A and B are shown apart, each in its own frame.
Chain A
Amino acid sequence: MRVYQFTEQPYPDAWKDHEGSLRVNLPNRKCDPLVAADLFHRYYDEWLLADELGYDIMLNEHHQTATCMSSTVVVGLSVLARQTKRARLLVLGYPIGHRQDPLRVAEELSTIDVISRGRLDMGFIKGVPYEFPSSNQNPVGVMDRFWEAHDFIIKAMTSHDQPFNWESEHFHYRHVNIWPRPWQQPHPPVWSTTGSKSNARVLGEHGYVMATLGTGYNTRVLYDAYREGYMSMGRPAPAADRFAYLGLVAVALNEQEARERGERVASYLRSAAIVYPPFRNPPGFLSVEDNARLMRGETPPRSYTKDRRVIDMRSASVPELIDAAILFCGTPAQVYDQIVDFCEYCGGMGNLLMMGHAGSMSHADTVENLTLFAMEVMPRLKEYKQPLATATAA
């Protein structure tokens, strides 16, 4: 198993005074650039430590939000491409459906792949609902735009003999010929995220790495949909390395301390959805049928525990989050057992995207969490033998 260290690079002072919205419309006068600079340097330092400790690294981007100061992820990738030595650098994700210019995306990511000497994993995502007010892209049809941007980026990265032409629904170019071309051939690995079975199947057809977040013991159905799509293209069952799961992690030498740390990591879940309600569901982001259900006041549950209790991850307690495999928390032995138990349930999961820092966790707290996990849990996870690739649904 690979373990990617991830933080959203938050600006935690904003939690003290946000008037009900941490995203989109929280005035940026509440961001002190001096504080922001210290935070960025600190987060990069923690990733440099993660590099030394044997982790891989995951970065993301969001816009106009105190929950994630990384509004332009190529900056963080660029810094880490130069400063880290061995970790893979996963961007999960790059919201390509929002970008005006996918040629620029292809150029940025190829350059980062070259500077890092082939360590880039490129995760392309639809983006959360709150991104549309800032990008002003139309949420209706954003997946069409996403797939055209995807097709274009892959074509740009894999065309080497002469400039090519692209005149399609969303993007227009006449002489595409990117320099530099990517280090990894034919192109850096593609990742994506989803919460729906239909998208999971499509990702399986492509054979891309599929990540889910907060899906807990509802993950298996998504993985199985992926497996179906993967095998429908005439391939054998996909290996565990095709699957990734974003889990919060809090480990400590005794259970009491671990639970306290777990509370601090879980602060991410409790704050991630603090946003002015109209920005939570732009038209077209969900299907018409799902919107009709929402209008009726029906909200489908998303997270389940192993024994099928429904939990709301925004308000659940630490023990509930552990039961739902949203948070892996406890002593090193407990955390190892929780992760392995979850992998077995999934039928294999080869990439743990570990949120080892969140909210206002201090540097010392974060370093201790990362170090203990790297020393006591990660070596055992590297040794762990994934369940054999399965061909059928659980």
Chain B
Amino acid sequence: MTAGPISSIAVNNIRVEFIERGSGKPLLFLHPGIGIEPTSLVLDRLAARARVLAPHHPGFGRSEQPKSFDTVDDLAYFYLDLLEQLDLCEVIVVGVSFGGWIAAEIAIKCAARISHLVLANAVGIKVGDRETRDIVDIHAIPESEFVQLAYVDPEVGTHDYKTMPDAQVLAAARNREATARYAWSPYMHDPKLRNRLHRIHVPTLVLWGAGDRILSERYGRAYCAAIPAARFELIERAGHFPHLEQPEMFAHRIFAFVEGTSQ
């Protein structure tokens, strides 16, 4: 297992850090609001069969926060620019939770450089009625409750900030703030997105940690139903972050889907 180098790249004068690992078909991994650690097993599992690029979104980790960025739209255009700048083609775009929302917003705008889309426990759409909150208000519960709801095994998401390196604690604090910046209100969704998902024509896998109590399976199935060529799959023994709880299975399902749907 190799912890690959962390690089940085400036796109439109916005500098972000990213992890690059493996070779072959490009795979853009869009992390959830909690960020992504270079030591995450899932990156190696994905890098075993693809060239993984896992940027820290603008405002997250140690990536720059542009003053003008405050919507997921801004992030989607940023990544379209990044794909163009690196001249990446036939890209597998994988997004988890908040990253899944970004992935969907990218795909409705322009999928010319995308071969496959994977939305894992993605937020971003409104499903229930106006008095039903689809997504648990993570800002209204203590972190201890969040990990209970988000993980099948809460140990996976439990951190001891007292022993964590300073840079990592700062990154966690930045991630929390950036998530709120982009997704405070409307809460974790774009009211327009669901009606625009019909524009996605690339093969799409909606991958769902079955034990997620932040989002319901019903929500995932509604997401899937709004995308013409989408397939829904559950991952057992995983919650809101299947890439952390079942990294092997997560990667396996993605590549099986890509092989099964490639021309």
A residues bordering B, Cβ < 8 Å? 133, 136-141, 277-279, 282-284, 288-289, 291-292, 295-297
Contact = CB atoms under 8 A, between A and B. Distances in A.
Main secondary structure of the interface of B (DSSP, over half): helix
B174 to A, nearest CB: 5
B169 interface: yes
A140 B177 contact: yes
A283 B169 contact: no
A289 B176 CA distance: 12
Contact of B170 (A137, A284, A288): A288
Given A277-B142, A283-B139, A138 B184 contact: yes
Residue among A136, A140, A291 facing the most chain B CB atoms (10 A cut-off): A140
Contacts of B169: 292, 295-296
Given A288-B170, A297-B162, A141 B142 contact: no
Q: What 10 pairs across the A-B complex have the smallest Cβ distances?
A: A283-B180, A138-B184, A291-B173, A140-B181, A295-B161, A292-B173, A288-B173, A292-B169, A283-B176, A283-B177
Contacts of B176: 283, 291
Contacts of B142: 277-278
A164 B249 CA distance: 60
Contacts of A136: 184-185
Interface of B: 70, 139-142, 161-162, 166, 169-170, 172-174, 176-177, 179-181, 184-185
21 contacts: A138-B181, A138-B184, A140-B177, A140-B184, A277-B142, A278-B141, A279-B140, A282-B180, A284-B177, A288-B177, A291-B177, A292-B166, A292-B169, A292-B170, A292-B173, A295-B161, A295-B169, A296-B162, A296-B169, A297-B161, A297-B162
B174 A288 contact: yes
B172 A295 contact: yes
Contact of A141 (B140, B141, B166, B181): B181
B181 A284 contact: yes
Contacts of A138: 70, 180-181, 184-185
A292 B139 CA distance: 16
Contact of B139 (A282, A288, A291): A282
A59 to B, nearest CB: 28
